[in-house]
Structure 1
Amino acid sequence: MSVLVLVVDDEPDVEALFRQQFRRDLRAQRFVMDFASSAADALSRITSTIGQTLILILSDINMPGMTGLEMLPKVKEMRPEVPVIMITAYGDADTKRKALERGASGLLTKPIDFSVLREEIDSRLAAAS
């Protein structure tokens, strides 16, 4: 059974950035990273994660169509046990409050501090094992 981290972002370069930052972990098969380019795509991927342990969802807030904040309650309804960390370029108090009210576990601002994100993933991996 593989351990999965799902990244939801409409920017095409995000996948390459995350794969580069976590290349050693991915090569060592500590976890699998999957990428969705929209909230709708993410929701369908979440429903098809049978056989994988989904430990974390990272989602951009501002995306065309359904935003990350609109997707968040749907994710929490489907998988209430999976923590969701929202990612935004605008880390203002109002955005953080909205994200936490809708069920987010936390909020990261861009540019992402990958050392903080690595610690988060490591703690989720430890809890899953």
Structure 2
Amino acid sequence: MPGRTWEPTKRGAKDLNRWLSKGKTVYTLREVSGKFRGYEDAQLYAAHTFDRRSMFTAEWMTGHLSASGLLAQEGTVYELPPEGVRNIATPGRQYAAPTGKQALDRLAASERRKAGSRR
């Protein structure tokens, strides 16, 4: 994977904090639980955009996490999004679920059965 990476160490947190500026986005990988791997990819990536500095520590913040907090919580941070891995914010693949027309046909059929049993 091209681009810079930062490891969850003190040195990595310091380097990441120096590299960041307002509006920069970094990426982290997340492992999906074994229970859901039949329905979901094994790994997903999340994007984190840094938009402000902490009032107390002057570290860059993304949501409620500082740069060092992101490293501690998520592990390795990447400069570029990983290739071949889906973003966690995009819809996943659809597995064995009925289409909208099939669902409406089933609903209409069940309503007809209910109406027939009331007579």
TM-score (norm 2): 0.25
Relative CO higher for 1 or 2, CA cutoff 8 Å, sep ≥ 6?
2
Higher gyration radius (CA): 2
More helix by percentage: 1
